[in-house]
C-alpha cells in the first residue's frame, strides 16, 4: 500500500516513513501543502497522512481540496492541535481519522489498518456516481450535471469525461486517452483528442467560474477544481 505523508518536521517525517516501510508500506514524504497537491495529480496513493501546520497550504485546506475530487482515499490528520474544535474542523472537511501528536507509531499503524479494512468493495456502493466539485457524473444513467444544470454530451464526450474524472486529478496523456476512450481507432497524430477536449470545455466549463478541465503543457489533461 502506497502512502503519501505531509509533514514538515524532517526528523518525524523520516522516522514515520521508515516505520511504515518496515511494516510493508511504501511512503513518500512531502513538506508543504502546495507540493503535496502537485504530487497527487500525477501519482496514485492508497492513503494520505496530513499534518495541519505546514508551509504554503495547510493540511486542512489540502484535505478539503482532495475531497473536492476524491471522496474515497482515506485521510488521517496527524497534528499537535488537540482541541475539539480542531478535530471538528478536520472531520467537517471529511477527514477519516485524527491522531494527536505525540503518538505511538503502533497506534497509527492500527488506525491505518482499520481504515483499509473498511475500504473495500462494500464501500463502493456509490461507485457509479462521480463528483468533482459541483460536477456530478452518473455513469449508470449516462447523465452529467454541473450544479443544477444537466449537460448534454455525446457518447464519446461522456466517455472522455468519465476517463478524466476517474483519474482523480492526475494528468492523463493523449496516448492514454486514445487507448482508453478510442481504443486506438484513429491515428494518435491527429488532433481528435484536442477537438473533444475543446467540446467538453465549452459544455462543462464555459459558463462556470470554476474551470475543471486543464491542460498540463507537454504532458496531457486533468480534471480538477484547482
Q: How is the chain split into domains, by residue range?
A: 2-119, 129-223
State the pTM of this model: 0.58
- Confidence grade of residue 34 (pLDDT, cut at 50, 70, 90): very high
**Among 71, 156, 59, which residue's Cα sits nearest to residue 119?**
71
Write the CA distances from 106 to 29, 48, 99, 114, 139, integer angstroms.
19, 17, 12, 12, 40
Residue 123 has pLDDT above 60, yes or no: no
- Please choose, from the candidates 216, 202, 220, the residue with its C-alpha nearest in 3D space to the C-alpha of residue 163: 220
- The pLDDT of 155-159, averaged and rounded, is 93
Is 163 within 8 Å of 137 (Cβ atoms)?
no
Lowest-confidence region among 67-81, 131-145, 176-190 = 176-190
Is residue 167 predicted with pLDDT exceeding 80? Answer: yes
Is it the case that residue 220 has pLDDT exceeding 50? Answer: yes
The pLDDT, as a whole number, for residue 7 is: 96
Asked if omega into 139 is within 30° of 0 (cis), the reply is no
198 membership: H or E segment, kind and range: helix 192-200
**What per-residue confidence (pLDDT) applies to 121?**
45
Task: Give the model's pLDDT for residue 139.
Answer: 87
2-119 CATH choice from 3.40.50.2300, 3.40.640.10, 3.20.20.140, 3.40.50.300: 3.40.50.2300
Mean pLDDT, rounded, for 39-53: 89
pLDDT band per the 50, 70, 90 thresholds, residue 165: very high
Question: Which residues, listed in sequence order, are joined to residue 76 by a DSSP beta bridge?
Answer: 49, 97
Indicate the CATH number for domain 129-223.
Answer: 1.10.10.10
What is the dihedral angle through the alpha carbons of 48, 51, 55, 57, rounded to the nearest 10 degrees? 60
Residue whose C-alpha cell is 462494500: 122
Closest CA to 51 of 118, 88, 4: 4
Assigned C-alpha cell, 2: 502506497
For residue 187, is pLDDT > 70?
A: no
Backbone dihedral angles phi then psi of residue 159, each to the nearest 5 degrees: -60, -40
Residue 9 predicted with pLDDT over 90: yes
Q: What is the pLDDT of residues 199-214, one digit of tens each?
A: 999 999 998 888 999 9
E strand or H helix at 76? strand 75-79
Cis bond before residue 12 (omega within 30° of 0): no
Amino acid at each position: 500500500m502506497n502512502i503519501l505523508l505531509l509533514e514538515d518536521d524532517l526528523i518525524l517525517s523520516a522516522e514515520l516513513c521508515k516505520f511504515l516501510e518496515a511494516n510493508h508500506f511504501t511512503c513518500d514524504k512531502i513538506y508543504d501543502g502546495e507540493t503535496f497537491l502537485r504530487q497527487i495529480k500525477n501519482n496514485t496513493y492508497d492513503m494520505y497522512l496530513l499534518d495541519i501546520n505546514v508551509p504554503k497550504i495547510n493540511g486542512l485546506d489540502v484535505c478539503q481540496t482532495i475531497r473536492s475530487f476524491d471522496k474515497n482515499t482515506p485521510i488521517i490528520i496527524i497534528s499537535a492541535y488537540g482541541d475539539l474544535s480542531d478535530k471538528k474542523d478536520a472531520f467537517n472537511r471529511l477527514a477519516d481519522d485524527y491522531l494527536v501528536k505525540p503518538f505511538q507509531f503502533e497506534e497509527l499503524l492500527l488506525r491505518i489498518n482499520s481504515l483499509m479494512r473498511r475500504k473495500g468493495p462494500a464501500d463502493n456502493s456509490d461507485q457509479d456516481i462521480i463528483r468533482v466539485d459541483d460536477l456530478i457524473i452518473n455513469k449508470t444513467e449516462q447523465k452529467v450535471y454541473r450544479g443544477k444544470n444537466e449537460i448534454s454530451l455525446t457518447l464519446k464526450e461522456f466517455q472522455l469525461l468519465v476517463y478524466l474524472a476517474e483519474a482523480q486529478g492526475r494528468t492523463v496523456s493523449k496516448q492514454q486517452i486514445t487507448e482508453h476512450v478510442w481504443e486506438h481507432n484513429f491515428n494518435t497524430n491527429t488532433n481528435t483528442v484536442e477537438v473533444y477536449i475543446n467540446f467538453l470545455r465549452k459544455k462543462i466549463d464555459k459558463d462556470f467560474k470554476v474551470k475543471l478541465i486543464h491542460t498540463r503543457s507537454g504532458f496531457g489533461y486533468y480534471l480538477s477544481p484547482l
